[in-house]
Amino acid sequence: MNNMKIRKLIQSIAIALSTSLLITACSDNISSTQGDDFNSGNDNDGGPSSFNESALLSHLTNNIITPTFLDFEVTANQLNESVNQYCTIEKQFNAGNATQQERDNQLLETRDIWRQSMVKWQRIEVMQLGPLVENQNLLRNKIYSWPVTSTCAVDQDIVFFNQGNINGEDYNIANRVATRRGLDALEYLLFNTNLNHSCSETTAPQGWEGLSDNTKREQRCEFATEVANDIANNTQILLDAWSGENGYANSLLNAADQPGSDFNNVHEAVNRVSDAMFYIDSFTKDAKLAKPLGVFENSCQQNICPENLESQHAQHSLENIHSNLLALKALFTGEVTTHETTTGFDDYLIEEGASLTANNLRTAIDAAIADVEAYQATLKESLENNDVQVRDTHQKVKTITDQLKTDFINQLALELPATSAGDND
């Protein structure tokens, strides 16, 4: 935190009412629907707010969200190129023109670029705005659809793609549902070493079992090139919808009653950014931690359930959570290494006389990040052998979300997103 923030924090703490940090048990209901004076532009005393919400939107949009999208585009294109190169060597190996070592080395490199892509995408997961939430998250799901996935659907499309048609119609991945494409499908294609299909007898891909292992690998890699190219194409669609002349970024930047905005006022636009941050609640806390732990209904009758973890094949779930938390911190604090400006939601809280909440949230976010960084095993291994550690991680993330759902939205007069309203966790 820079010196100006520290001075403001100390000054505000001196006059703020002391409140206790809200940490509720899993069975406690801490739901709230909206903060007092939601969308009024007033502070929590009913007077006009002096905080510059337009400056907050400008910094977060220009210096955090847009660069994150652009950064992912670079890696998505690299992933596309690497998958194509791997498949070329796979086919050369089958033809006797490349060694197994050359094939395996390229596969390892491609897997590493997939991991880099996923780290960057998981930051975007906490920045789902505009084109990523329109049409029930249609574009987002084309790039990454978890937790809605189907390895059998991918197995079927390997065969459909390689035969070039489906029921007499030319194969076109752009017309396929999200479970047959995206980063999660590519994870299965690159990291799964079991060459058997994952379907039932009635849904098995026709002719797969009769293929040689080399042919199966080659057909998988051929479809992987199609999936990787589709990811790159949809990433470009995202950037066009975000950064174009009529893109959502401009709508955020023009939210202060200016032409070219979808918002009634700047506070409403700030609320949309706040909504995106609640991914930490419904996905990071609930889907990625609570469900595998059995806190919620899962595939194992609410027992420990590694089958419900994210990233079943690459075992990248812990890195995904870490990336989610780093994205939340960037949005909350406004801190980014590439820019000196650090206008974030913590500044907004401080301006509204809620310095204690700003400090508590920042402390909780840092604690959760440090907790995840301390793991010495994958999340799957830890869940199976040391579930107490995973429960502690869940509690640390819950400490963040409890405050987001109460003090944060109330003191900034924000509305709680429907995904987080009224839950008992």
What is the pLDDT at residue 418? 84
Domain shared by 343 and 312, yes or no: yes
| Domain boundary pick from 194, 209, 243 | 243
pLDDT band at 419 (very low <50, low <70, confident <90, very high): confident
Domain shared by 49 and 98, yes or no: no
Q: Looking at the predicted structure, is the pLDDT value of residue 48 above 80?
A: no
- pLDDT per residue over 52-84, tens digit each? 999 999 999 999 999 999 999 999 999 999 999
**Structural domain includes residue 419:** no
- Domain extent, residue 7, equals 3-62+247-255+264-411
Domain shared by 126 and 107, yes or no: yes
What is the pLDDT at residue 34? 53
CA nearest to 321, candidates 359, 345, 293, 344:
293
**Structural domain includes residue 326:** yes
- pLDDT per residue over 218-255, tens digit each? 999 999 999 999 999 999 999 999 998 889 999 999 98
Residue 95 burial (10 A CB sphere; 0-12, 13-18, 19+): exposed
Domain shared by 314 and 407, yes or no: yes
Domain shared by 44 and 88, yes or no: no
**Structural domain includes residue 317:** yes
Domain shared by 47 and 76, yes or no: no
pTM above 0.85, yes or no: yes
Domain shared by 85 and 227, yes or no: yes
Domain shared by 251 and 202, yes or no: no
Q: Report how many domains make up the chain.
A: 2
CA nearest to 391, candidates 401, 403, 379, 400:
379
**Structural domain includes residue 425:** no
Domain shared by 215 and 138, yes or no: yes
Instruction: Please report, rounded to a whole number, the percentage of residues in the chain having pLDDT higher than 90.
Output: 82
Cα–Cα distance list, 290 to 8, 211, 391 (Å):
37, 41, 8
- pLDDT per residue over 288-331, tens digit each? 999 999 999 999 999 999 999 999 999 999 999 999 999 999 99
Average pLDDT over all residues of the chain: 89
Domain shared by 274 and 140, yes or no: no
Residues 130 and 238: beta-carbon distance below 8 Å = no
Domain shared by 270 and 228, yes or no: no
Pick left, alpha or beta for residue 413 (phi over 0 → left; psi -120 to 50 → alpha; otherwise beta). left
Residue 150 CA to chain centroid, in angstroms? 19
- Other CB atoms within a 10 A radius of the CB of residue 7 amount to 10
**Structural domain includes residue 11:** yes
What is the pLDDT at residue 50? 87
pLDDT band at 8 (very low <50, low <70, confident <90, very high): very low
CA nearest to 221, candidates 87, 108, 110:
87
**Structural domain includes residue 296:** yes
**Structural domain includes residue 422:** no
What is the pLDDT at residue 43? 41
**Structural domain includes residue 96:** yes
Domain shared by 192 and 309, yes or no: no
- pLDDT per residue over 111-128, tens digit each? 999 999 999 999 999 999
pLDDT band at 158 (very low <50, low <70, confident <90, very high): very high
Q: Compute the average pLDDT of residues 36-51.
A: 52
CA nearest to 398, candidates 272, 273, 284, 302:
284
d(CA 342, CA 329): 11
| Domain boundary pick from 208, 243, 278 | 243
